[in-house]
């Protein structure tokens, strides 16, 4: 969406104050632990763009709350299976041998959107050290949530997703659908159904040196995430409302993960 399209979508610009008011009306409150997935373009034109959205979220949560966002880096996955776009076969070894090591402080996100990319650079934000599925956090429990992110099964019980679950956190889908809800991957890991195991490789920085590490994971998928999200909303419920020009959904993360775990066992 162009900036002109964003202007056309709204009667007046979104601001930090108006976004904060919309978030409070939706049910976001001071002291919450909130995992946010977002689309800036869905909001229409916002004065300050992604910075205003982050400021509004922090304002509502206050220092007593915790803001979490996925800061994934798909550029550190196996280039031989890239599809958007694919790369020539003779590039694969070059990419694998030359990629700079993943560094939480500087490595940019990929495909996470402008809000998450802005957020990871904010003062006081800390980021987990997983090379492909890191999360960033700010606030009272930020360090607790991102610390000790396990390499193996990076969206499973050793991940920040599980720490949000342990804290009884919420998920905010800000202008995006359930297909973007990374918490459903935690349910995938926990559910009892047949899974494909994989071995991944990625470069990390350890003691100042580039080191390529190998770790085990499962092949995750999102094709049925919208279906499980719709089933959850019907059976359990979620809060839906406007934030600027976007439709936002606020839901209980542990309830969603528990529901999806059972759903995957019955439907996959």
- In this predicted model, what pLDDT tens digit does every residue of 144-157 receive, in sequence order? 999 999 999 999 99
pLDDT at residue number 41: 94
Q: Where are the domains of the chain?
A: 3-267
What are the backbone angles phi and psi of residue 125, rounded to the nearest 5°? -85, 135
pLDDT digits (tens, 9 = 90+) for 79-128: 998 988 999 999 999 999 999 999 999 999 999 999 999 999 999 999 99
pTM: 0.95
Q: Which of 67, 107, 72 is nearest to 180 (CA)?
A: 72
Low-confidence ranges of the chain (pLDDT < 70): 1
Q: Tokens 């606030």 identify what position?
A: 139
- CB 110, CB 73: distance < 8 Å: yes
pLDDT of residue 7: 82
Distances (CA, A) of 12 to 20, 42, 200: 15, 15, 47
């Amino acid at each position: 969406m162009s900036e002109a399209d964003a202007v056309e979508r709204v009667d007046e610009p979104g601001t930090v104050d108006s976004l904060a008011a919309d978030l409070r009306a939706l049910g976001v409150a001071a002291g919450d632990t909130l995992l946010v997935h977002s689309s800036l373009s869905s909001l229409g034109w916002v004065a300050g763009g992604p910075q205003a959205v982050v400021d509004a979220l922090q304002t509502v949560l206050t220092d007593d709350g915790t803001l979490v966002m996925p800061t994934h880096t798909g550029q550190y996955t196996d280039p031989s299976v890239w599809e958007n776009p694919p790369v020539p076969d003779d590039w694969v070894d070059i990419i694998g041998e030359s990629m700079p090591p993943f560094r939480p402080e500087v490595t940019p996100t990929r495909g996470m959107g402008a809000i998450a990319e802005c957020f990871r650079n904010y003062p006081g934000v800390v980021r987990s050290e997983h090379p492909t599925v890191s999360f960033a956090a700010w606030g009272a429990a930020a360090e607790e949530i991102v610390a000790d992110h396990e390499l193996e099964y990076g969206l499973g019980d050793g991940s920040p997703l599980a720490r949000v679950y342990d804290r009884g956190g919420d998920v905010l889908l800000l202008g995006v659908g359930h297909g973007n809800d990374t918490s459903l991957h935690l349910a995938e890991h926990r559910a009892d159904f047949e899974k494909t195991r994989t071995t991944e490789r990625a470069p990390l920085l350890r003691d100042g040196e580039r080191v390529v590490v190998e770790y085990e994971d499962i092949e995750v998928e999102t094709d049925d995430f919208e279906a499980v999200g719709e089933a959850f909303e019907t059976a359990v419920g979620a809060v839906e409302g406007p934030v600027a020009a976007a439709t936002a959904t606020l839901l209980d993360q542990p309830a969603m993960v528990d529901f999806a775990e059972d759903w995957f066992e019955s439907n996959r």
